[in-house]
Amino acid sequence: MSTFPHPYRAFTAFLGTSFAAGPPPRRQFLPAEFRETLLAGAGERLPLLDAPVLDWELAERVHDADYLRRWRAGEVTRAEERALGFAWSPAVVERGLASSGATLAATQDALALGLGINLGGGTHHAYRAHAEGFSFLNDVAISAQWLLNEGRATRIAIVDLDVHQGNGTASIFAAEPRVFTVSVHGANNYPFQKEISGLDVALPDGTSDAAYLATLQDSVFSALHAFAPDFVFYLAGADVLEGDQLGRLALTPAGVRERDDQLCRWAALRGIPLVLVMAGGYNTSPQTLIAARLGTLEAALESRIIHPLLQEVVNSLQEDQVQLSAEVAQLLFEDATDWISHGEYGLALQMLTDRIEDMELLFTASWWRRSLKLAELLGVHERVSVTYEYLAQAGLIAPEQ
C-alpha cells in the first residue's frame, strides 16, 4: 500500500534549515542523498512537518540543570564528546532540541489523534546527567515526563526495540512506577554495562525473525498486558536488521515489518495512544534501511486507519444485514476477525464479500458503500465491486432504511 487519506503527520528535524546539514558525518549514518530519498518516500505517505524546537525548561524536568547549562554553553570535555560520539557544536545542541521537540509534538498528536510520529528521535542513551551513544537529550523521557507532569497519562510504557539497550531511559525512570520501560536488545551489543529496565530481554548474536517474534509474544506482550499502559512510546529501531553496522541480530525486512505490525496493532486495538520514534538504523545497505523505515511508517498508519475501518465493517455485519441469522453473522464475524488479526486486510475484506456472495446474503446499501470505500483504500476495489455488481443485479442489495 502506498497512499491513503488520513489525519496523521510526521515531524522531522531534517527539514529545518538550521539542522538541514543532518547529523554529523559518521560513516555509519545514512548518507545525505539517501536521507532525501527517505524523506521523499515518507512524504508520499503523510505530511512532514518541521520539528518545533524544545524549550530548555522541559528538558530540565528530566536532565540535570548543570549538565544542560554546560552543554548549552559548550563547556564539555573531550571525554564527554567521545562518549557522545561527536564533537560538540551549536548544531549538535540545536539538533538535540529539534529532535526532542519533534517527539513532544508527536506526543501531543498522539493525545489528539491516537498516533504521533517523529521520523527521527529515540536518543535513549542519554542519562539524566551525561551524554553517550549519539544521545545528548533523551527525547522520549522528556515527553513521558511532560505527560506525567501535565496529568495527561498515568501509566506509560516505553517499548524500546532498538538493538541497543535503552540504558539512559531505564536509568532515568528506575524509581518511577508510572513508567514501564521495556528493552529488547542484543546481549553483546553496546552498552556493555546494561541498566535494569522494567523488562529486559537480551538476545544472542544472529537472532532470526522467528526467535525475535517469539520473544515479543512470550515476554513483551504479556508484560504490556499486565502493566496496562494508557500511553505507549515505541522505539522502532531498524538496527535489528541483518547487515547493520552497529547491531548483531539478523532480522529480515519482513521480520521487522511483522514486529512493527504486531506492536502498533497491539496499541491500536486497545485504543492506546502511541508515539512512534525511529531510533537506530545503520545498515550497510541504505536501500534496505529506507525500505524498513517506510514499512514501519506504513505499519503504524495501517494499524490506525485500515484496521479500524475494517473492524467497523465487520462489527456492522449484524446490524446491516437484513436476513442473516445471528449464528451466521457470528461465524462471518469470527472468520473476518481471524483474517484481520493476520494483517491481511485486503484479503479479509475480499473473503468476507466472497462469502456474502456465495450465501447470497442481503446487506444494506450503506454497508456496501463503506465496504467499497475500504476496498479502494486496500487496493481490492476491482474484485469487491464485481461481487457488489453481481449482488445488485440479482436484487440482493437492501435499500437504505
Nearest distance from C-beta of residue 192 to Zn ion, angstroms: 14
DSSP annotation of 119: S
* Amino acid in the structure at residue 173: F
Using alpha carbons, select from 34, 36, 43, 33 the residue that is nearest to residue 14: 36
- Is the peptide bond between 191 and the residue preceding it cis, with omega within 30 degrees of 0? yes
Closest residue (Cβ) to Zn ion?
280
3-class SS string, 364-400 = EHHHHHHHHHHHHHHCCHHHHHHHHHHHHHCCCEECC
CB of 55 to Zn ion, least distance (A): 27
Beta carbon of residue 165, minimum distance to Zn ion (angstroms, whole number): 9
Can you say how many angstroms the Cα of residue 40 is from the centroid of all Cα atoms in its chain?
19
Residue 58 or 279 having the CB closest to Zn ion: 279
Binding residues (CB under 5 A) for Zn ion: these are 162, 164, 237, 239, 280
By beta-carbon proximity to Zn ion, the closer residue of 237 and 295 is 237
Neighbours of 193 (CB within 10 A): 7
Residue whose CB is less far from Zn ion, 166 or 343: 166
Kind and range of the H or E run holding 354: helix 345-358
By beta-carbon proximity to Zn ion, the closer residue of 114 and 166 is: 166
Q: How far is the CB of 280 from Zn ion (least distance, A)?
A: 3
Grid cell for residue 140: 522520549
Smaller CB separation from Zn ion, 245 or 325: 245
The DSSP output letter for 11 is E
Helices and strands in the chain, H and E counts: 17, 10
Out of 6, 63, 124, 125, the active site residue is 125
Nearer to Zn ion by C-beta: 164 or 381? 164
Concerning whether 307 is annotated as a catalytic residue, the answer is: no
For the bound state, the minimum distance from the C-beta of residue 138 to Zn ion, rounded and expressed in Å, comes to 14
Minimum distance from residue 119 beta carbon to Zn ion (Å): 16
Residue 277 near residue 116 (C-beta atoms within 8 A): no
Tell me how far CA of residue 43 lies from CA of 12, 13, 85, 285, 361, in angstroms: 11, 14, 30, 21, 42
Contact 380, 346 (CB under 8 A): yes
Residues marked active site are found at 125
